[in-house]
Amino acid sequence: MREFAIKDCALAHIATGRRAQTLRELRDILRDVHPGCIYHHFWGTLMRPQFSNLEYNNDFASWCFESLHDSTAAERLSAIDPADYANLEDLRQELLDVIESRLDETELILFTRPDQQFSFVRSVIVVFDTYRLLADPAELAVAVPQMSVGSIFYHFIDARRRDPVGIDDFRAWLCGEGGGYEEVCRKIAEVDPYFESLHDLRARLTGLFARYFGKGAQLENRNG
């Protein structure tokens, strides 16, 4: 079985200079903004500390609630789960559809203050090699709780846009080798990567791998 190389990552932020002061302006910019902006304003929130309004878990929803004071738009945008979409263009279209629907149902035009405009930012992922290799899937029970949140982001979230079939690195490793790991792969697939913090995701995966591999790993250690 090929080895699993644990990576770490960070997100580098690139300002685009594009800003929106109304929901209509937000829609107009979203039509052609770089897809890296959509990635940043959804998935990038997981890599940033959040202290308030956690129910609005993407930047578009948070801005509508906090700056535009449009709670209806905020709730609808917050309900979008980016994991449900095959690619960023499909996610872009869902954003546009939700915003267009909100614009169609109200004639009221809400403006933010100039200092509270929505600023579009791109993310570029920077990857680091931890130089740690896993040779046996049972090692995941020990390795995952020791991973940084950057590693969890890279292997469980960012992998979905890198892998040709859109799955995380754990499933790609376990299920790609024909080693009889279908059950644990099914359990991994049930973990939603978006509506929990990276710390919570790490805890969920830690528990999952401990239940599946823990006993076998303990027996192996005693026999060794």
Query: What torsion, rounded to 10 degrees, do the Cα atoms 203, 190, 56, 150 define?
Result: 40
Asked if 24 and 116 sit in the same domain, the reply is yes
pTM of the model: 0.85
Compute the chain's Rg from CA coordinates: 20
In this predicted model, what pLDDT tens digit does every residue of 157-197 receive, in sequence order? 999 888 677 899 999 999 876 668 999 999 999 998 888 88
Q: What is the pLDDT along the chain (224 residues), one digit of tens a residue?
A: 789 999 999 999 999 999 999 999 999 999 999 999 999 999 998 888 654 446 788 999 999 999 999 999 999 999 999 989 989 999 999 999 999 999 999 877 788 888 899 999 999 999 999 999 999 999 999 999 999 999 999 999 999 888 677 899 999 999 876 668 999 999 999 998 888 889 999 999 999 999 999 754 443 433 33
Choosing from 98, 122, 146, the residue where a domain stops is: 122
Question: Does residue 56 form part of some domain?
Answer: yes
Q: Give which of 17, 29, 14 is closest to 60, Cα–Cα.
A: 29
pLDDT digits (tens, 9 = 90+) for 61-82: 999 999 999 999 999 999 999 9
Is residue 76 in some structural domain? yes
Residue 216 pLDDT: 46
For the chain, the domain total comes to 2
Q: What's the pLDDT at 113?
A: 85
Phi and psi based region of residue 180 (left: phi greater than 0; alpha: psi -120 to 50; beta: remaining): left
In Å, how far are 68, 163, 223 from 44, measured between CA atoms? Answer: 21, 19, 44
Please indicate, yes or no, if residue 128 is contained in any of the structural domains.
no
Both tokens of residue 198? 């990276």
In a domain, 42, yes or no: yes
CB neighbours of residue 12 within 10 Å: 10
Same domain, 19 and 103: yes
Q: Which long-range contacts (CB under 8 A, 24 or more apart) does 44-47 make?
A: 44/11, 44/13, 44/121, 44/123, 46/153, 46/157, 46/194, 46/197, 46/198, 47/10, 47/11, 47/149, 47/150, 47/153, 47/198
Residue 4's H or E segment, with its range, is strand 4-20
Quick one: 117 and 15 in the same domain?
Answer: yes
- Token reading at 158: 């960012």
